[in-house]
Structure 1
């Protein structure tokens, strides 16, 4: 039983293949989305809540371990993860898989000149996805496709993309990977029919499998508009330019994010580049807590930079996902700051609990170079926290 405020969630875990402790991985929050009033908030995904970078990266390692326990014996194929929350965990799964695999994540970015496999994500607050798949060799010739997200509830989104892929590059096996798997018997029967219809096998790999009963007693839809206080406090702002070596569409997108597909050699190169460029990230006080903050889909590379630091570094990311904040013990989201997207004008982003930990310094990672004037709002956000120094890290010098 997990309960807080005026909602209750009874969780029954029916399969735990690695014998993990659910409470080390999961919190529950509420939101205004009428499709689904609640949200399972991961403690270690590096999205809504700050965590250690090693804990986030270990999720990929654990999912690969659970995959190996099923004795599927695959050795080549494509790993696809879902934006925005699943981008980093999918990249981590790809990194730890042994064999000839490529990685790509879906994106809400619209990029001219690239052919997209478009599909619909169910249950999402933002449902349009693109998959720029043409550079992937293993999607055409590989034997298996992995679909990775933090949580699978009905598997409808996965079935949507499986149908699309099967129509152009038929596969014999799809493996749906997640931290949490809530797919019930009704949806399992639907998937069995899809297997017969498409002549393929659909497997599930997860850290926790179960079911839940969520009841909201009286949490009304609340006004999500936020006003950032204009505090007359000076903080030090430092701009850092990194060179990530290889870019797409000019220097707007880093090749190694996986948005357009990468292979194992690309991954090796990414690790080398991160090690080299980490020397440019100098922490002022080695004894204080420091935050490395990714932005939207741009999660995995900031996590790698956080792993490279030997200091007291925490990591998470901004998100499009709106969650109701409540200042109460036992509830995971105690504060919320709203900012505009750095990549798409008019899109709201949120960062949670930024003022609830005593950080002295933050490294904010932006995939592409922006004009300094575009950071005024987020600088005002940081003035409302304990952070004295904000390093704005542009991963493109142009």
Structure 2
């Protein structure tokens, strides 16, 4: 039985996002008495399918965070999973809650979900790749994979499904079939659910090829309406399965109005500022996966979760990432540092950043286009747009990096980047006035750092 008091219950909170767009939230369950202001801000999406976005303060995507916070929220979700699905309150829960509310995060959290619980955990790209991995961190014996929008030539994905409201709808999971063929519970991790259509799509896709009895959906925020919940109940009946739902905040959402696109314009094309960037290219030794894609003859990295990772392999990965973080700490040149991941490549840079010393902040680039507005309590204050250096057919963005906010910047990539593909991103970043930039990429071969003046 849940013994925690809930706050904000039956209270409607109104967010006037931008002129003409209002979102009202009715909170139904908040078991850990979390402050909504600690979890997200709101912003307007450039997306005709969905006009709003919960801009997370705990994921390390659009808003810079302490990397330890991004890892901590995964552990908090794992504790809630134990309570809701297994009927067990972990002894670590009071401390986890206290640390989160005080914004005091430990360097490491030992796995506390017992070995007899052996699920296959799936994180959703791109926003929840690190969240799913951080949730997986709490398990003593589990397997993890994240979905991807990457297309691998000559490799057949295990499953495919659609995220209908997204700007990039197609998801794939590249995982060896034996992992899916085991009848273990599957846990699906996302940062938030509004309708749950994406989750229904992936459950149907999995169940068609790899049927089982039990699924669990885990999210920080769950805004499904009564009708949406009934769709899950109908799916349970249709497939003869059980679907558990776990979240830190449960409520409903009501959207009024819309954003008038003609009232907004792309940010002006900034003339190149007279900022001289000192670029250090740092190859970091890391075991590779057996998959390759892209114009550079460089393989993907083994431990990202894109191709699956076990709890034992995770122990190996954590040691690699700790050592890399300590090594890169020596390259810091100031007192305040930003580490910037790339797209789906979120968890490993976050883990590395957590080992780079004090006053290090983390966030990642994204495919998601959002209206910027320099307003108090609005989720996106500024925007940087550029072609993805790893795939020039994809537009990428970075948000909320203010001028003169950081002393140095570490740009992380899973694979080596061709210099000419990186230049547009570097040009945009001149607006931050950060002159000391390290470009870190993971490599199966040892290399020597190179210094470039740009």
Q: How do residues 123-134 of structure 1 correspond to structure 2 at under 5 angstroms?
A: 123-134=165-176
Distance 2:143 2:352 in 1: 22
Scaled by the length of structure 2, the TM-score of the pair is 0.83
Give me the whole-angstrom Cα distance separating, in 1, the residues matched to 2:183 and 2:421: 43
Structure 1 residues 188, 21: closer, same or farther in 2, change over 3 A? Answer: same
Quick one: structure 1 residues 350 and 226, their matched pair in 2 at CA, closer, same or farther if it must change by over 3 Å?
A: farther
Deviation at 1:310, TM superposition (A): 1.4
2:193 is matched with 152
Q: 2:386 aligns with which of 339, 364, 376?
A: 339
Q: What is the CA deviation profile of residues 151-187 of structure 1, one whole-angstrom value per residue up to 9, with x for unaligned ones?
A: 1111111111111211222111100011110111111
Question: Which of 181, 189, 197 is the matching residue for 2:238?
Answer: 197
Q: Secondary structure at the match of 2:314?
A: helix
Q: Is the 8 A contact 1:237 1:392 kept in 2?
A: yes
Classify the secondary structure of the residue corresponding to 2:438. Answer: strand
The equivalent of 1:33 in structure 2 is: 47
Residues 222-272 of structure 1: CA distance to partner in whole angstroms, max 9, x if unpaired?
A: 333652431122121111000112322254211111111111111111101
Change (3 A) 1:65 1:380: same
What secondary structure does 1:325 align onto? coil
- How far residue 32 of structure 1 moved from its aligned partner, in angstroms, is 2.0
For residues 290-323 of structure 1, what are the alpha-carbon distances to aligned partners after superposition, in whole Å with 9 as ceiling and x for unaligned?
Answer: 1000000000000001111112100000000000
Contact 1:286 1:312 in 2 (8 A): no
| Partner Cα separation in structure 2 for residue 165 and residue 371 of structure 1 | 37
Contact 1:102/1:262 (8 A) holds in 2:
yes
Q: What pairs with 1:233-312 in structure 2 (closer than 5 Å)?
A: 233-249=275-291, 251-282=298-329, 288-312=335-359
1:55 aligned to 2:69?
yes
For residue 96 of structure 1, the aligned residue among 116, 138, 141 is 138
C-alpha RMSD over aligned residues: 1.9
TM-score, normalisation: structure 1: 0.94
- Contact persistence 1:84–1:297 (CA under 8 A): yes
Select the residue among 20, 34, 38 that pairs with 1:24.
Answer: 38
* Partner Cα separation in structure 1 for residue 51 and residue 286 of structure 2: 39
Q: For 1:367-395, what per-residue CA distance to the aligned partner results, in whole angstroms no more than 9, with x for missing partners?
A: 00122222211221222113120000011
Select the residue among 226, 229, 248 that pairs with 2:271.
Answer: 229
Q: Counterpart of 2:339 in 1: which secondary structure?
A: strand
Aligned equivalents of 2:178, 2:127: Cα separation in 1: 22
| C-alpha deviation, 1:70, in angstroms | 1.2
Residue 389 of structure 2 contacts residue 425 of structure 2 at CA under 8 Å; is this kept in 1?
A: no
Checking the alignment, whether the CA contact within 8 Å between 2:286 and 2:444 is kept in structure 1 is no
Hey, what does 1:367 align to over in structure 2?
414
Q: Identify unmatched segments of 5+ residues in structure 1.
A: none
Relative to 1, partners in 2 of residues 1:297 and 1:356: Cα closer, same or farther, differing over 3 Å? Answer: same
- Counterpart CA distance in 2 for 1:292 and 1:54 is 13
Aligned residue pairs, count: 396
User: CA, structure 1 residues 350+283, in 2 after alignment: closer, same or farther (shift >3 Å)?
Assistant: farther
1:135–1:292 Cα change, 3 Å: farther
Following the alignment from structure 2 to structure 1, what is the Cα–Cα distance between the partners of residues 129 and 422?
24
Counterpart CA distance in 1 for 2:150 and 2:245 is 28
Partner secondary structure for residue 395 of structure 1? strand
Secondary structure of the corresponding residue to residue 166 of structure 1: helix
Does structure 1 retain, via aligned residues, the 8 Å contact 2:51–2:258?
Answer: no
Asked whether the 8 Å contact 2:73–2:131 carries over to 1, the reply is yes
Give the superposition deviation at 1:107. Answer: 0.6
Where does residue 436 of structure 2 map in the other structure? 389
Determine if the alignment matches structure 1 residue 85 to structure 2 residue 127.
Answer: yes
Q: Which runs of 5+ in 2 are unaligned?
A: 1-13, 88-115, 293-297, 446-454
